[in-house]
Structure 1
Amino acid sequence: MTQSNEIPDRDTLASEYFERIPFQPYPVQEEALLAFFTNEQGVLVCAPTGTGKTLIAEAAVYEALRTGKRMYYTTPLIALTDQKLDELRESAVRWGFPADQVGLVTGNRRVNPDAPVLVVVAEILLNRLLNPENFDFADVSSVVMDEFHCFNDPERGIVWELTLGMLPAHIRTMLLSATVGNAVEFTSWLYRAHNRRLQLVVGTERKVPLQYEWIEDDILADFAEKIAAGDEVSRRTPALLFCFSRSQCWTTAELLKGKKLIDKHRQAELADYLNDADMSEGAGPKLKAILMRGVGVHHAGVLPRYRRIVEELFQRKLLSFCVCTETLAAGINLPARSVVLPSLLKGPRDKKKLVDAASAQQIFGRAGRPQFDDRGYVFSLAHEDDVKINRWREKFDSIPEDTKDPGLLKAKKQLKKKMPKRRSGESYWTAGQFEQLQQAASANLSSRGRLPWRLLAYLLGENPALQPIRDLVGRRLLPPKGIEEAQRDLNRMLITLWSAGYIELDPKPRAAQPKPVGPKSREQEVSKQAEVPPPTAGVFGELLDQMREDDSAKKPDEEETNQDPELIESRGYEVDDYRPEFARPTDRLERLVHLRSINPLFGVYIADQLAIADPNERIAVLESVLEVPGTVARFTRMPSYEDMPAGTLATTRLDPMLLQSGLATAEELGGKSDEEEEEVRDRGFGRVMFEEPKVWPLTIGEKLLRLFRDAFPRVHNVNVRPVWIVGELLEFGGDFNKYVTARKLQKEEGILFRHCLRMILLLDEMANVPPLESTVETWEYPLDDLADLLTETCRKIDPQSTDEMLAAPKSPVDDLVGLGRRNS
């Protein structure tokens, strides 16, 4: 394609782009494209998954390449950035532009970072907007925000929100979202709050419509074999089979392994491919055997290099089923004809709940491939007990009630005796609930989450004036009471930073007046009377009982809601009417900006304590602050005090502090109980047993958390989960395969591998916040040595993923804003 030096107008661009579409766009695509090319500020496109929103987004890419301008394509997930990079490069070449005109920048990976078209995670764009002196947006023509319904994400939605508010007026915006319930209200808010007027385009029909079927007479294995049978036209595979736990994925895949799911031709192709693949370690042999039968497994517990094999085989149509968790619904694109749900419930065995509508509709939308299918199929299977009941009823009802045949009467009587029943304590779902999920209204968009500590620290470092931050909070998409609470929350955060010596507030906080308490709050009243400001002398109280709760059983914001707001606000200072004008940074504030893997206040706190820790204590503390699923943590527990006695930090500092403050008992610190253990004879087995100790000794991470929560009572959503993964891996000489095999953790090796990568990143961050009691030799060098050892180990496991995560150089300002959770 020969490009003219003359910059075309938008009408010409629209005409050129429509000419390059290889098929007739359907109505919502055409309407959205026309809106984008004609509207001065952009468009919000709300349409179901599978309506071809990528075609709409590529119009902005074409415009930038054709006019010599720049543009950003943002996604919520690193996995999506990789996919979009490949897709946009292919499109650029198809249009006649070099592939290197499209690049990628995430916090961990950079490909052609100076390219005019950049695929980025949302945090990168916000970081650059916060640094106008380093990044010029004058020649940026547009920004595409894909999967924009992630605005509702409780942790990361605020990144999208702040980015929208900071975009220069000349940049046209394209927001691509699944359907939302308050699209009109959202566009109105965007205009009122940020003076950005977007044209709304709403689509309700998919190009490939969905056909929903409730399966009540087939168990999963038989049903899978049934829909995999036939020729290319009649069979309903390839299919994505969604499970709501990683362990269930493996169980289901094993169940399908013995079924006939692929023809001999595809099985031969599979054998050729897999015999050439290196799958000799960890879960590789088990996964290879499953893949040979036409079934893939895809979830976070599978090593990335094995997941890539599954993705490639599925995209080549060599697999009939990919058994996956719901994270795939918002991640890598695996085109499928059908979606199969063996269950509609998720959660722990005794607390299962119906999957939420937003997640279900995201899953449903994965069915149907526009280039291959005239419809997508969504199958929901009844519980196996209900299938047995339905089959029994069919047989029972087939014998007439008024039959006189002795043989039939006997058969009916025998059937009645063998009538299957639902089990006590088991959770079930129904066809009605399946229909309810199909018809559920779309979720409304609203501001979620509080201002991140790290971002607040950065903003205050750039400008101590607080009015711009108050204005930002006042423009959030919240009801009036929500705005009021957000302003109070900002005050709490400022007072916390002031109390810890990170900022100087002008004017200073005022002492709070005691608030009346009701009869049921007598314990709170006594607690308040015992408190002495400043808030660093807070009481631990009810938090003691929360230390060992399983996070999987808690709602995301339960940590915050089970705190009494009046108790929090009464810890010495007024928050309702307090309006400081300036928050001037002290030398300490910059330390917070270096920490993105964990809450920065907690990170700096533990860094100051770890100066005197021994090597095992350091590893144990740093491992405990990284998020490890409870299902993995229970198999990677910290060694007992007998196997790994308390170290220098615990014995010389933490234990005395906890005892003196009344934050822990001697038993919790590993001391003996006053009462002797009671012998109990198990008469059934004739052996002597001992009563379980009533108190579990605290790990080093839990000790630090108790002290931190007492010192920072206003800082919520900070937790630890004690594990000994890196520590035990080092005991195996860094041999990852030997470690996971010996501990029988092959099915979770992807989680363990990611934990090691995140540990390397955390070590790098912690090296930038040296405590006063340390030197380069005593602080940075040991952390760097451990990071190097782990890097070598990870490269042996999966060199591509390790290099993508760690080896790419980073721009300092591309790493400013993190929310504590890795966006991968």
Structure 2
Amino acid sequence: MSDTSFPLVRILSRLSQRGSNVDRDELLSLFLDYVSELGFDLYPAQEEAILELLQWHHVILNTPTGSGKSLVAMALHFQALAENRVCYYTSPIKALANEKFFDLCETLGPENVGLMTGDGSVNRDAPIICCTAEILANRALREPDFPVDYVVMDEFHYYGDRERGMAWQIPLITLRDTVFLLMSATLGDVSEIAKRLDAYTDRQVSVITGAQRPVPLTFSYREAMTHETVQELFDSNEAPIYLVNFTQRACAEQAQALTSLSFLSKQERQQIAAELQSVRFDTPNGKELSRFLRAGIGIHHAGLLPKYRLTVEKLSQAGFLKVVSGTDSLGVGVNIPIRSVVFRQLCKFDGDRTAILTAREFHQIAGRAGRRGFDDHGLVVVQSPEHIAENRRLEAKRIKNPHLKNKLVNKKPPIKGYVPWDEKTFDRLREAPPEPLVPQFSVNHGMLIQVLQAYAHVPGGGYRRIVEIIQRAHLRDAEKRIQLRLAAKLFMSLRQVGVVQVEWEDNEPLRFVRVREDLQKDFSLHQALSLFLVEAVELIDPTTETHALDVLTLVESILENPTVVLLKQVDKLKGELVGKLKAEGVEYEERMEALERVEYPKPNAEFIYETFNLFAKGHPWVGAENIKPKSVARDMVERAVTFNEYVRDLGLARSEGVLLRYLTQVYKTCVQNVPETLRTEPFDDVISFLHTMIIRTDSSLIEEWERMMRGEIVRPKDRFQPPEPTSPTHLASDFKAFVRRIRNEMFMLLKSLSDRNWEDAVTCIRDDGDEPWTEKRFEQVMAPYFDAHAFIDVSPSARGTRNTEVQQQGEQCWSVLQRIIDPEGDEDWFIEGWIDLDLIRDQSEPLVSLRRIGS
């Protein structure tokens, strides 16, 4: 491929001289040629920012959404290439780093761009690197001579994020010789950040703000019902509309309420139906979502399965969805076209209490309205509280019908989850600038060890470096003293357990601080928990019947809690308990006391806590809060339930994505962190069970991870394309894993048949031939069996390997025989099927085609 394929590479070739002495006037002229080729003119704020960067000044760019901040970043990447320097681009999420990687590859050439995320890296020695903020922060701590000349920090308002903000601050107080470009649309007052950055780097900081927005916004406040506002906006050609909710439940409820409105023409409905033909809506939430989409309404929140979220984004970009009812989490990395943003309310639960939105939150969401290149304006509408709009409607009825005056009772405001707002609240948020960013900084064991390792051979060691970092932190003096005392306490704890050693030479003062050599150079808390996992697995007797499940419990204990799933487990247990206590005649007060003591299942909790406490004595950087016994994956394996069954059982339809992400994390941890030498055949079966369940539900998460592990990534826009055909030989290349998957698929079919869940049974097999296996056909074929037997045995013994026979019949063909065990232990019935890998085009499809079920 020639350089002409990459615009800035072609333009760069016209540069008379490259390197640190490059002619900056010539460099600017060439970049302006590139901007002209794009058909743009620079806004004043863009031009000022680029000129400041050419002077090697830091730039804090605080301009509205759509004002071309990415073009300024591109100018800095171009400048880095021209000067033969290194430039890092950081983002809050891997998806955005991935997207930026491909954008830069297309403009700067793939040989010049690399990608680094927690899952893997591509071309990591390239001069331009895309990564998450945490990757940059960790390298800044671990590498004393970290070679980075320029850093672009996108979405810099994350600097104030309580959980992750420290990753945005660390580079600013460790990379003294680096030029920074800090960008966001909602920064607020950054004078203190600029002052501290100037003082540390001795380099000028230019704060550039601009109110000029390519697509101007119009704001309005309405006392009307939501469906009335949406209908009016649609009739006024103000769609697509993003309806902002603050709970996943509200997203679905509002979408349902809007289905009574007509948004689509007959042709559009047909086009949507054609687009959805290849989408499997085969989970409990799928049918509802499918119905919404066919009405031109989407929903978007973190609880959706990735395949559903991707479908919503695809239909939105194609212009088929007129309304998307989503949460306020619609942010970076999500490309949904929006002309109008409608706030249903101005209060939300912030993790501690229900409160009015901050100005930053309001502007961040409102800024999504209006698409550059598509809209000449964006519209932001704020709804009054629902009871206000309803009471206004009732008052109009009373005026029109005086005889109904005493019958029409005003609606009261909600008792919970509500803080009142009105038009004055709206005006204040609209006019207020974003609040100043609050710096986040706290020393921890992981940070301490990384720095001590990096400076082990420097007199004074890394502890002196830690003190310097704390003294440069963006904190008040009193807060710095607190952090210095904390660092000393953590350092002493590491010395006490022998992780850190202080070495003296010839009665000289303190010279070196050494970290125990067996700690990996890329130490992290996750790796420490992984080490605990390995040590704890070694303590479990592999001959016990529950060994595989106990190992799975250990895996779950080192992972973050899927809170919504655990809460649903508690709800179910409470429901079962209250029914039992009522039947036993237990008094109300005693029932309530008993319900207060209910918690989610924690198998082997005593063993896990005791083992972890012993481990923590030698590894003080792990705290008691980092071990979390629970049983989600174990519960599913132990009860042999499918994903759909578990979702229905706990009522998780609106949180399917949460459950899938958690199961994927469990699977990845099993594969990555349980050594093969400690795995047993039953545990490999557990891994296969999880893998089969995940890819049959939604294969995108595992496929993305497996590609990253192989050094491959998928261009974001290609996610919308049909999947590439899977090589038939690939599925059977690991024959043991292939057979395990077949056994798991057949068992899922057996489980569905045993539960007489014909709908799920249909999804367990391939739809081949002229006589498809429908729900009715399954019911008819199984009727004789259930006339003679109460159920199908799906116990662990019935799931044994001997009950599934797989025999190769050709190069790509296998026959499958699955025995059906009846309650008496007889094997008179069986399932016959076949597999033709030449027919498999997507590994998420079922493998087995059904021939017959009978005796």
TM-score (norm 1): 0.72
Q: CA deviation at 1:235?
A: 1.4
Alignment correspondent of 1:470: 467
Alignment correspondent of 2:434: 442
Q: CA deviation at 1:363?
A: 0.8
Q: Distance in 1 between matches of 2:624 and 2:425?
A: 33
Q: Distance in 2 between matches of 1:783 and 1:638?
A: 30
- The one-character-per-residue Cα deviations of 1:248-296 (angstroms, maximum 9, x if unpaired) are 2222222222321233343332122112333334533322221111111
The more displaced of 753-762 and 705-714 is 705-714
2:175 corresponds to 1:172: no
Instruction: Please tell me whether the aligned partners of residues 87 and 150 of structure 2 are also in contact (alpha carbons under 8 angstroms).
Output: yes
Alignment correspondent of 1:804: 704
Q: Distance in 2 between matches of 1:678 and 1:638?
A: 16
2:229 corresponds to 1:223: yes
Alignment correspondent of 2:747: none
Question: CA 1:444/1:420 → structure 2, altered by over 3 Å: closer, same or farther?
Answer: same
Alignment correspondent of 2:551: 618
Instruction: Please tell me whether the aligned partners of residues 767 and 783 of structure 1 are also in contact (alpha carbons under 8 angstroms).
Output: no
Selected match of 1:460 from 441, 452, 455: 452
Alignment correspondent of 2:266: 264
Alignment correspondent of 1:570: none
Q: Distance in 2 between matches of 1:506 and 1:360?
A: 54
Q: Distance in 1 between matches of 2:521 and 2:683?
A: 17
Q: Distance in 2 between matches of 1:580 and 1:486?
A: 22
Q: CA deviation at 1:347?
A: 2.4
Q: Distance in 1 between matches of 2:397 and 2:319?
A: 39
Question: CA 1:265/1:181 → structure 2, altered by over 3 Å: closer, same or farther?
Answer: same
Q: Percent identity?
A: 27
Q: CA deviation at 1:108?
A: 1.4
Q: CA deviation at 1:99?
A: 5.3
Alignment correspondent of 2:115: 104
Question: CA 1:81/1:424 → structure 2, altered by over 3 Å: closer, same or farther?
Answer: closer
| Amino acid in structure 1 at the alignment position of 2:402 | K
Alignment correspondent of 2:161: 153
Q: CA deviation at 1:311?
A: 1.1
Q: Distance in 1 between matches of 2:592 and 2:43?
A: 72
Q: Distance in 2 between matches of 1:678 and 1:247?
A: 30
Alignment correspondent of 1:699: 602
Q: Distance in 1 between matches of 2:359 and 2:151?
A: 29
Question: CA 1:373/1:738 → structure 2, altered by over 3 Å: closer, same or farther?
Answer: same
Instruction: Please tell me whether the aligned partners of residues 494 and 500 of structure 2 are also in contact (alpha carbons under 8 angstroms).
Output: yes
Q: CA deviation at 1:726?
A: 1.3
Selected match of 2:694 from 766, 776, 794: 794
Alignment correspondent of 1:421: 411
Selected match of 1:753 from 660, 669, 673: 660
Selected match of 1:586 from 516, 527, 531: 516
Question: CA 1:245/1:628 → structure 2, altered by over 3 Å: closer, same or farther?
Answer: farther
Q: Secondary structure at the match of 2:115?
A: strand
Question: CA 1:379/1:678 → structure 2, altered by over 3 Å: closer, same or farther?
Answer: closer
Q: CA deviation at 1:45?
A: 0.8
Q: Secondary structure at the match of 1:340?
A: strand
Alignment correspondent of 2:209: 202
The root-mean-square deviation of aligned C-alpha atoms, in Å, is 3.9
| Amino acid in structure 2 at the alignment position of 1:484 | R
2:63 corresponds to 1:52: no
Instruction: Please tell me whether the aligned partners of residues 60 and 207 of structure 2 are also in contact (alpha carbons under 8 angstroms).
Output: yes
Q: Distance in 2 between matches of 1:197 and 1:245?
A: 44
Selected match of 2:79 from 41, 59, 63: 63
Question: CA 1:50/1:615 → structure 2, altered by over 3 Å: closer, same or farther?
Answer: same
Question: CA 1:320/1:640 → structure 2, altered by over 3 Å: closer, same or farther?
Answer: closer
Question: CA 1:428/1:481 → structure 2, altered by over 3 Å: closer, same or farther?
Answer: closer
- The one-character-per-residue Cα deviations of 1:453-504 (angstroms, maximum 9, x if unpaired) are 3232222233342111111111100011111111112122223333444324
Instruction: Please tell me whether the aligned partners of residues 44 and 175 of structure 1 are also in contact (alpha carbons under 8 angstroms).
Output: yes
- The one-character-per-residue Cα deviations of 1:770-802 (angstroms, maximum 9, x if unpaired) are xxxxxx733799877755653454334333431
Alignment correspondent of 1:492: 489
Q: Distance in 1 between matches of 2:212 and 2:681?
A: 59
Alignment correspondent of 1:631: 564
Gaps of 5+ in 2: 5-9, 541-546, 712-855
| Amino acid in structure 2 at the alignment position of 1:724 | S
Q: Distance in 2 between matches of 1:223 and 1:316?
A: 24
- The one-character-per-residue Cα deviations of 1:31-62 (angstroms, maximum 9, x if unpaired) are 2222222x224311122333321122121233
The more displaced of 736-745 and 315-324 is 736-745
Instruction: Please tell me whether the aligned partners of residues 179 and 202 of structure 1 are also in contact (alpha carbons under 8 angstroms).
Output: no
The more displaced of 366-375 and 386-395 is 386-395
2:175 corresponds to 1:185: no
- The one-character-per-residue Cα deviations of 1:604-645 (angstroms, maximum 9, x if unpaired) are 55654454344433323432443344332222469989x9xx
- The one-character-per-residue Cα deviations of 1:83-115 (angstroms, maximum 9, x if unpaired) are 32343345x1xxxx5456444321114455454
- The one-character-per-residue Cα deviations of 1:310-342 (angstroms, maximum 9, x if unpaired) are 112111221112222222223423231111111
Alignment correspondent of 2:822: none
Q: Secondary structure at the match of 2:382?
A: strand
Q: Distance in 2 between matches of 1:98 and 1:348?
A: 43
Q: CA deviation at 1:379?
A: 1.3
- The one-character-per-residue Cα deviations of 1:498-546 (angstroms, maximum 9, x if unpaired) are 3444324689xxxxxxxxxxxxxxxxxxxxxxxxxxxxxxxxxxxxxxx
Higher relative contact order (CA 8 A, sep 6+): 1
Instruction: Please tell me whether the aligned partners of residues 624 and 723 of structure 1 are also in contact (alpha carbons under 8 angstroms).
Output: yes
Question: CA 1:179/1:166 → structure 2, altered by over 3 Å: closer, same or farther?
Answer: same
Q: Secondary structure at the match of 1:596?
A: helix
Alignment correspondent of 1:518: none
2:678 corresponds to 1:778: yes
Q: Distance in 2 between matches of 1:696 and 1:728?
A: 17
2:664 corresponds to 1:730: no
Question: CA 1:760/1:9 → structure 2, altered by over 3 Å: closer, same or farther?
Answer: farther
Q: CA deviation at 1:418?
A: 2.1
Instruction: Please tell me whether the aligned partners of residues 173 and 472 of structure 2 are also in contact (alpha carbons under 8 angstroms).
Output: no
Instruction: Please tell me whether the aligned partners of residues 43 and 200 of structure 1 are also in contact (alpha carbons under 8 angstroms).
Output: yes
Q: Distance in 1 between matches of 2:602 and 2:205?
A: 53
Q: Secondary structure at the match of 2:180?
A: strand
Selected match of 1:311 from 302, 310, 313: 313
Q: Distance in 2 between matches of 1:366 and 1:144?
A: 22
Q: CA deviation at 1:202?
A: 1.7
Q: Distance in 2 between matches of 1:436 and 1:320?
A: 30
Alignment correspondent of 1:511: none
Q: Distance in 1 between matches of 2:678 and 2:512?
A: 37
Q: Distance in 1 between matches of 2:555 and 2:79?
A: 47
Q: Distance in 1 between matches of 2:571 and 2:113?
A: 46
| Amino acid in structure 1 at the alignment position of 2:306 | P
- The one-character-per-residue Cα deviations of 1:116-146 (angstroms, maximum 9, x if unpaired) are 433211222334445659x973xx5532111
| Amino acid in structure 1 at the alignment position of 2:46 | Q
2:8 corresponds to 1:17: no
- The one-character-per-residue Cα deviations of 1:382-439 (angstroms, maximum 9, x if unpaired) are 222111112233455x57xxxxxxxxxxx43632552413146253532232233223
Q: Distance in 2 between matches of 1:63 and 1:424?
A: 56
Instruction: Please tell me whether the aligned partners of residues 504 and 584 of structure 1 are also in contact (alpha carbons under 8 angstroms).
Output: yes
| Amino acid in structure 1 at the alignment position of 2:451 | L
Q: Distance in 2 between matches of 1:204 and 1:46?
A: 9
Aligned residue pairs total: 666
Q: Distance in 2 between matches of 1:592 and 1:607?
A: 18
| Amino acid in structure 2 at the alignment position of 1:415 | K
2:103 corresponds to 1:87: yes
Question: CA 1:424/1:14 → structure 2, altered by over 3 Å: closer, same or farther?
Answer: closer
Q: Distance in 1 between matches of 2:518 and 2:681?
A: 22
